[in-house]
Amino acid sequence: MTLSNYSSTELKLDVERKISILTSEQAKASLGVDIAPSLQWVGFATNNAVTNKGKKAWSEAQGLPSVWILGMFNPAPGTLVVAPFKKAGSGEIVNDRYFGKLGADRLRVNEEKAFVLFKCDGKFRSKIGLSATRAQAVIGSYSPQAKLLTIVRYTRPKGANRYVNNLWEIQKQPYSGDVNNAYNDGPVEPGKPALGGFYELESSSPAAALAPGASLKHVHETFHFTGPREALDAISTKVLGVSLADVESAGM
């Protein structure tokens, strides 16, 4: 495909996307935890590659693309996104400026245990993101009523710090964007319907400063688990680093 960005830079690129259902062995290798027989689950992965097919290298000055994956889900009752973050990171913990700052009824930050909770009910348009200094290589969500735990893991190259800023504005810092995001759908304006009443768990690759013929790959894995709380808690504690008790105790 050929695309032009806001700077009128023409980008000639080849995109390859492979979608696969994950086996229990692959899930265990990715998550580092055994999946209890009492759980029902599905896991799938998208392996995404973008290649510079032009004759010139892509540069920061002219604008860089990235791979951006959005998983869209129906919000089960009481769904909370769980975003662990790096305590030692610099700058703000969470960016909630996309559609307006959020109150404590929608967004909580547990600085002691290093995780963010974001209410996703499909009824209030809002979005959060974690930057390159804060984001872990995982994000998830949990519905206690549905006994449903969702885990998203994605490629996070060591040392990568240039991520495309996807705030809807003319960019002053175009490569200080977020690594992962969560979006909650809702009415675009008062009296208008929501786009669909979904929520999203998103990941981005670093900005692709590619020479001609060079490629960037980004893998995004999604797992849905449902079943006994004890078995779900074992996965959440191991993979997200957050117990379900800590999620539930927020009272959101």
For residue range 52-110, list pLDDT tens digits in order.
999 999 999 999 999 999 999 999 999 999 999 999 999 999 999 999 999 999 999 99
In the chain, % of residues over pLDDT 90? 92
Query: 203: helix, coil or strand?
Result: strand
pLDDT of residue 218: 98
Query: Which range (36-45, 104-113, 136-145, 189-198) has the least confidence?
Result: 189-198
Predicted confidence at residue 23, as pLDDT, reads: 97
Cα radius of gyration rounded to whole Å, the chain: 19
pLDDT value for 208: 97
Q: Hey, what are 40's tokens?
A: 């029902």
Q: Tell me whether residue 36 is exposed, middle or buried, using C-beta atoms within 10 angstroms of its C-beta: 0 to 12, 13 to 18, 19 or more.
A: middle
- Rounded distance between C-alpha atoms, residue 210 and residue 216, angstroms: 8
- For the chain, give the mean pLDDT: 96
Q: How high is the pLDDT of residue 251? A: 84
pTM score: 0.95
Give me the pLDDT at residue 126, please.
97
> Which residue has better confidence, 167 or 177?
177
Q: Quick one: pLDDT at residue 135?
A: 98
pLDDT(171) > 90: no
